[in-house]
Amino acid sequence: MLYARPLAVLISQLERLPGIGPKSAQRLAFHILRLPEDDVIQFAQAMQEARRTVRLCAVCQSFSSEEICEICSDVRRSKETICVVGDPKDVASFERLNEYHGLYHVLHGLLSPIDGV
């Protein structure tokens, strides 16, 4: 075994994240081990809190801490225009531009008629 079991488990868990390969997982794990314990606890608590409290907006299906997200509950938004996006991060991209003032619908994946989706 190259690493102590707890470190090997941490690396293995980090590798499960999208876009994180073995080398990145090792680098992240070593970084985490060098952090002050309080920072690691805050990091773990932030993950737990997000997992426990973030849900899908009942209107657009984007991530929200409330039943209806801030965008859908904003009375200034145009209810007549809906932008269909594949992922919640796409909503954030559009919002950063501050040009679109309608609503969204998040598919949580892309349509692919060839694949039957």
Please tell me the predicted confidence (pLDDT) of residue 1: 65
DSSP string, 34-46: HS-HHHHHHHHHH
Please tell me the predicted confidence (pLDDT) of residue 112: 75
Q: Could you tell me the mean pLDDT of each successive run of 10 residues in the chain, 117 residues long? A: 91 97 98 98 98 97 97 96 96 95 94 75
d(CA 26, CA 100): 40
Please tell me the predicted confidence (pLDDT) of residue 117: 65
Please tell me the predicted confidence (pLDDT) of residue 88: 95
Which residue's entry shows tokens 């929200």? 64
Please tell me the predicted confidence (pLDDT) of residue 56: 97
